Amino acid sequence: MVDIKINLDESPAPKNPVTPKLFDGDYKINFHCHPKIACFNACCGNIDIALTPHDIVRLKQHLGLSSGEFLRNYTYRYEMEQGGISGVKFKPVDDGTACRFMTDAGCRVYAHRPTACRYYPVGLVSLRKQDEYTDQQSYALVEEPHCLGHQQARTMTIDQYRQEQGVIESDPLDRGWRQLVLQKKSSGPAFGKPSARSLRLFFMTCYDIDSFRAFVSSEGFQNGFDLTPEQWQAVLASDSNLLQFGFKLLKQVLFGEQTIPIKQTSAQARQHEKGQKAAQLAAKRAQYDVAYEPVELD
């Protein structure tokens, strides 16, 4: 067990006023949720569920919707940091707090349920220190008064529970997204405030995968990067591959990391364009200086 206090502002999870103890994957827990337990469905009656990029992919594919349709019908946007990058959460039922997918028999999208639902009552906590390049993954235990699952006589390690819930396989798919969020939050003012354009790109890349596919498939976009036709084919072969490419692209856009090779001609063209703009700006400043040159009085 790792018994430390943390600042949850550094986690990509929604803010929580409770400072938890952190545990390793071999920590043993007692927990079992099943239809015969008295509190069954209680946690689905008052939801606050943040979605990962792969949560959206799984759910929109299962429901037969485009990512845009899914976002409009089932989610709302929230700010992970004021004026910064955004996340998405499940939209509850109209005039209520319950999950739209909850039924008396349980979750109707259970096989495709979000990561947060799979983890409960364990919380995934990813932390990245300012002087480190990789994130560290630990776990917190959520014990709410209404949940009777902790009283069930079933013991397992957190890693065994994660294996049972199918998150050991899915967590690596969203790790690039978590690293982006952590890097942005831990970078502080060094990188300045992201432009509105980069914030829109972040949202589209991470959550609106169908729009991002159209964006990446365009000839103009592909002409800027030094990838072979086979590499582009691999990128576009699946939503999962496309997301991994998108996470690399965002590292390049937000933090200037050279994660995807740029065509030399494109780089030269952009450098030339920057030079022209700088020259034009210098000329305008020179005209201004001449026009408003102070007059010396005798």
Residue 209 has a pLDDT of: 98
> What residue spans define the domains of the chain?
8-185
Residue 6 has a pLDDT of: 33
Residues 6+ apart with CB under 8 A from 115: 51, 52, 54, 55, 124, 167, 170, 171, 174
Report how far apart, in Å, the C-alpha atoms of 25 and of each of 137, 141, 154, 156, 162 are.
9, 11, 17, 10, 9
Q: One digit per residue, pLDDT tens: the chain, 298 residues?
A: 333 333 334 444 444 444 568 999 999 999 999 999 999 999 999 999 999 999 999 999 999 999 999 999 999 999 998 888 999 999 999 999 999 999 999 999 999 999 999 999 999 998 766 565 567 789 999 999 999 999 999 999 999 999 999 999 999 999 999 999 988 887 766 566 788 999 999 999 999 999 999 999 999 999 999 999 999 999 999 999 999 999 999 999 999 999 999 998 654 555 545 555 555 555 555 444 444 444 333 3
C-alpha closest to that of 79 among 185, 238, 216, 237: 185
pTM for the structure as a whole = 0.81
Give residue 257's region: left, alpha or beta (phi > 0; psi -120 to 50).
Answer: beta
